[in-house]
Structures are given as C-alpha cells and as structure tokens.
Amino acid sequence: MKRLLSVSIIAAILWVGISVPVFAADDPLPSWNDGPAKQAIIAFVKETTNQAGPKFVPPEERIATFDQDGTLWVEHPMYTQVMYCLERVPAVVKAKPRLSKVQPFKTVLSGNREAMAKLSMKDLEKILMATLTGMTVDEFNAEVKKWIATATHPRWNRPYTELVYQPMLEVMQYLRANGYKTYIVTGGGQDFVRQYSERVYGIPPEQVVGTAGGTRYGYAKDGKPFLTKEPKLLLNDNNAGKPEGIHLMIGRRPCAAFGNSTGDRQMLEYTKAGEGTRLSMLVLHDDGEREYAYGPAERLPNTKVGTFTQALYDEAKKNGWTVISMKNDWKRLFAFEP
C-alpha cells in the first residue's frame, strides 16, 4: 500500500484540455520555430510513411507514445492530480469528521500553503489514500469530471485544460494524420487521465497507459455490479515501469517517444533500441518567462517536479535523442496565445 501511494504521489498526476489545432497543409507544425527539432519530426514522418523508401514503417507498427506531465501540459508548481487530492480533502473530512483533528488533514484544512508545502511523503500518502481509493470507479470518475470543470491554475488563473502545449498537440495530430496511433504513457493516474484524454488529446481511454491501482468487483443492494477502487498497486508506470506498461498494454515497441524528465528515460531508451528509424525527444523547460525554467540540466534551477538531470541531457546527446528547447523551438506555448 505504501508503495502504491508513494508512486501515485510523484507519478499519479495529470490532465488538461484544449481544442484541436488547425494548420496549413504546407506547415503541419505552425507553432514550432524552424530548427533541428521541427526538422527531425517532419523528416521522421516523411521517411517512415514513404512506401518506396528504405525506412518505411507498416501502418500497424506506427506507434507513438507521449508522457503527459511536463511533456503535454504544465506540471509546475505541482502536479495537477496532487492539487485535486488536496482540494478533495474537505469532502473526505465531511464524510469522516474525525479526520479534521488528525494530521495531515488538519494542515490541509487550515489552507496554509506554506505548511502544506512542508508535508512529508508519508503525509501525502495518507491524503492520496483517502482521496483516490475507497469509492466506486463511477463515483471517482464523476468527481474528477466535476473538479476538472472548475479548477484553475494559480499562475494563469485559467482552467488546467487550457494549459496544454499547442506544439505537442500539433505533433500528435500530424502523426495521426500519417497513420500513427498515439498513446499517453504517464506516471500519473490512469483512471484520472482517462476522464479527459479523448476530449483534450483525441486519445481514447483505451490508449492511456498510466499508474494503475487495483479494483474489486461487487454488487449493490439491487444486484447491480460495480467496481471499487482499492489501495493496491497494479502498475507503477514510471521509470522502468513505462516500457513494462507499454509491453503490457500496447504490445508493440514505439517508433517515437516523447518525454521531459528522468521518469521517461527508460521509455526513450526502449524506443530507440528498436530496429529501423526511431524518434526519441525530450522537452527541456528553459523558458522561465513564458512558463517555468527547471532542470537541473544545463545549469537550470533544480526541482523535484519533473526533474531533468544533466546526466539525462548527456545521454540524450550521446544516443541521438532530440532535446526540444521550449524557449527556442516553440513559437507559442498555448492556444490562447496570439
């Protein structure tokens, strides 16, 4: 149980929302600046879909995987699903009043952000256990949808669904237009992401691979069957768990993989190790003006949320992975920008 919750804390987090991008036929990636990253994506698609070329990939093998937090949408200052869990605490306490006098619930109820920022991993595990398990799957789904409809990011004061990276939305649409099947492979909660993935990314729930907990089958008083979410880890979809999850849920090695942190390293290694043309890309958050700047790769500020180490950066350069500079490669970040 402890393993489940510690995994869910750093991993079970995310979601977003935005409209499908529209672009000119002569430029499938209009929100990208011309440069090595954009050229690598376009060259990859052209080479792998040219049936007369030596790098052609059959349609059934065209698989592309995307991490979510920090790769498809904003993950700072805290993962969105953690914010969901914190904001769910009052409802949990209302159902179980005794928790109002128990830590860490007492601290969360105080609204003291400074104190909440100092909560330990064990404290957060207790919060996750109380807010992510113990209810039916249908109840959980309904609560997530309700929260998503009103929750806003503290910096932009916009719904989290508007903080999706427009350049990455364009990449996904470009790949799908050329016969690729796109998957979200995230350390975040699988059930959480599935509530909005199709609306936001055009990715149906069955193409979401995430950290998954156990469920228990049962019957209501009227005989209707239902599933209850339990504090039991089935899949830790982070680090080495990502290629393991890909094998378990997809059954094919990706041709392309996109990430942004050390938690994505094994997924990119696994992708690049396949035969034929492969594309492995990492988003580097080096734009503190338009978004956030963190690494600590390339002397950027260190962080525990979406860590991109210098060792990962060096591995990318050594193995031919493409590092996407948010500052230099993206013309705009969000759809609401001019």
pLDDT score for 262:
98
Q: Does an H or E element contain 185, and which?
A: strand 181-189
Q: How many CB atoms lie within 10 A of CB 249?
A: 18
Q: Is the model's pLDDT at 78 over the cut of 50?
A: yes
**Residue 37, H or E segment:** helix 36-49
Q: Is the pLDDT of residue 11 over 80?
A: no
The whole-number pLDDT of residue 43 equals: 98
18, pLDDT greater than 90: no
pLDDT digits (tens, 9 = 90+) for 276-326: 999 999 999 999 999 999 999 999 999 989 999 999 999 999 999 999 999
Top mean pLDDT of 7-11, 20-24, 56-60 is at: 56-60
Provide the mean pLDDT of the chain: 91
Q: In the structure, what pLDDT confidence band is assigned to residue 6 with cuts at 50, 70 and 90?
A: very low
Per-residue pLDDT at 126: 87
Torsion of CA 92, 205, 278, 41, to 10 degrees: -90
Residues of 188-220 as b/e, b for ≥16 C-beta within 10 angstroms?
Answer: bbbbbbbbbbeebbebeeebbbbbbbebeeeee
Inform me whether the pLDDT recorded for 13 exceeds 50.
Answer: no
Looking at residue 186, the DSSP 8-state letter turns out to be E
pLDDT tens column, 259-277: 999 999 999 999 999 999 9
Nearest partner of 290 among 260, 336, 323, 332, judged by Cα: 332
Note the pLDDT tens digit of each residue in 53-74.
999 999 999 999 999 999 999 9
Of 225, 232, 318, nearest to 8 by C-alpha is 232
